[in-house]
């Protein structure tokens, strides 16, 4: 089985396994106690904190360990907002942040705060000017990921950090996807990360709060981790997490070159091997191991199952794989095709042969899913130069399949009106028009659902 979902969770690094087993004997006691066993545990915890701080580029007393990366984000956002509540109740995030950030923003908004969500370009990157424009006198905090978790696009953190610093606003950086490749550049104020993203054990997060940043931990607190992460520290897991971070950093430059070549190969060859595919994400400013593409006329969940049967573990941001039947917020913010979406995130030391085998298997897997879908005959009626396609009650990618099958039945300059009540159609029909050289006219309310208008150009 070829595991291609390292952006969700990287396989446990051998160094992490060794460190975990070795520290089980000495790291089990309470590090707050003064007897011998407690002192041993404290020594392990202090050494791990020093090593983690060195890797991040901060002071050891600015670093705390949390039970997860998500908890680090929730604690960091809530604490920074509370610490600066006298400044104001305004938060800035990007539209493509991890769900942990967006959920924190929703909670803040529900409690009376205001949130600005900075838009991204079609490659998934924010413009630093967008953060500059969003800053206000009452802005308490800005948040920006170092790199996107779904499409791999690297964000201009250093530039945004400089803008925020000049305005006196702290910037929290979610570095979960990038920290294993190197420290985050720029004059940021807070940082979060998650060990299972770089090959450490799950259940260990990092939260860094720079000295001078106003911070008020929310909820019940105790004396551990500077009062910012209550509860008994999982010292063996922390030791393993930091050991694996140092290990992956040791060969990060060399491995990055290799993974960039492999992902560039996938980006170039997938559109050659599979018709009607859109590769998404910035082509240059990107993490080494992530490549994402979307396939027209494909059910995302069916494609993932097909690839799983062929021996490949991948993930998807397609609405077809979601219980909510709405496309990924990242793909939606980018304005790109969401149906048949596949994210390939290669683990370190992945075999080149596995990548080649994936490229051999993919065309057949996509063709099989398209054939099984069968593109049912649409119910149509002709009204002058307009064709109406009734796709109500049908989920992605059926509305787009039906549109593609009938576009040739109207004259050049004629329109097809697609009736759909699937939220994904709002994203996928315009994306199809761009890919196929047709004009997306817009949408109109319909008696049921929404009417999407497409004009045939050729």
Cα→Cα distances 291→102, 162, 232, 352, Å: 23, 29, 38, 15
Backbone angles phi, psi at 431, to 5 degrees: -65, -40
> Which residue, chain included where needed, has tokens 């082509």?
283
d(Cα 228, Cα 191) in Å, to the nearest integer? 14
DSSP conformational letter for 315: B
Q: Are 358 and 344 in contact (CB under 8 A)?
A: yes
Rounded Cα distance between 314 and 306, Å, is 11
- Tell me which residue has tokens 């298997």: 361
Q: Per the residue annotation, which of 295, 320, 396, 433 is the catalytic one?
A: 320
Q: In 3-state terms, what secondary structure has residue 297?
A: coil
| Per-residue b or e along 294-318, where b marks 16 or more CB atoms closer than 10 Å to that residue's CB | bbbbbbbbbbbebbeebebbbbbbb
Q: Catalytic annotation on 320?
A: yes
Bridge partners for 79 per DSSP: none
CA 170 → CA 83, 130, 197, 216, distances in Å? 11, 16, 25, 14
Strand-pair partners of 342: 293
Q: Rounded to whole angstroms, how far apart are CA atoms 400 and 280?
A: 19
By annotation, the residues acting in catalysis are 320
């Amino acid at each position: 089985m070829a595991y291609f979902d390292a952006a969700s969770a990287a396989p446990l690094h051998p160094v992490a396994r060794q460190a975990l087993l070795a520290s089980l004997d000495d790291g089990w006691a309470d590090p707050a106690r003064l007897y011998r066993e407690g002192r041993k545990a404290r020594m392990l915890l202090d050494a791990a904190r020093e090593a983690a701080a060195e890797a991040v580029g901060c002071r050891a007393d600015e670093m705390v360990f949390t039970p997860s990366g998500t908890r680090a984000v929730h604690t960091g956002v809530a604490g920074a907002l509370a610490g600066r509540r006298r400044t104001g109740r305004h938060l800035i995030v990007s539209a493509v942040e991890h769900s942990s950030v967006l959920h924190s923003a929703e909670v803040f908004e529900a409690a009376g705060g205001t949130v600005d969500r900075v838009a991204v370009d079609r490659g998934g990157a924010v413009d630093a000017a967008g953060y500059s424009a969003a800053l206000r006198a009452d802005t308490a905090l800005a948040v920006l990921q170092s790199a996107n978790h779904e499409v791999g696009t690297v964000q201009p953190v250093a530039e945004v950090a400089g803008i925020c610093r000049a305005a006196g606003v702290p910037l929290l950086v979610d570095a979960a996807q990038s920290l294993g490749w190197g420290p985050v550049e720029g004059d940021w104020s807070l940082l979060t990360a998650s060990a299972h993203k770089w090959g450490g054990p799950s259940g260990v997060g990092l939260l860094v709060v720079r000295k001078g940043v106003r911070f008020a931990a929310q909820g019940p607190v105790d004396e551990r981790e500077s009062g910012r992460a209550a509860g008994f520290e999982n010292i063996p897991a922390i030791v393993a997490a930091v050991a694996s971070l140092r290990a992956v950093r040791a060969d990060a430059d060399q491995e990055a070159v290799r993974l960039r070549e492999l992902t560039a190969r996938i980006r170039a060859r997938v559109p050659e091997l599979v018709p009607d595919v859109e590769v998404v994400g910035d082509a240059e400013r990107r993490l080494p191991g992530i490549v994402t593409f979307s396939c027209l006329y494909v059910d995302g969940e069916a494609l993932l199952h097909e690839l799983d049967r062929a021996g490949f573990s991948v993930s998807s941001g397609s609405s077809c794989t979601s219980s909510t039947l709405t496309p990924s917020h990242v793909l939606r913010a980018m304005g790109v095709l969401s149906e048949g979406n596949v994210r390939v995130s290669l683990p370190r030391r992945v075999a080149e042969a596995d990548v080649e085998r994936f490229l051999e298997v993919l065309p057949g897997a996509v063709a099989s899913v398209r054939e099984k879908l069968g593109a049912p005959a649409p119910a149509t009626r002709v009204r002058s130069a307009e064709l109406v396609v009734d796709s109500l009650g049908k989920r992605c990618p059926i509305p787009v399949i039906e549109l593609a099958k009938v576009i040739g039945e109207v004259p050049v300059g004629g329109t097809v009106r697609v009736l759909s009540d699937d939220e994904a159609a709002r994203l996928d029909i315009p994306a199809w028009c761009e890919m196929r050289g047709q004009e997306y006219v817009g949408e109109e309310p319909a008696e049921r659902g929404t009417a999407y208008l497409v004009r045939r150009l050729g």
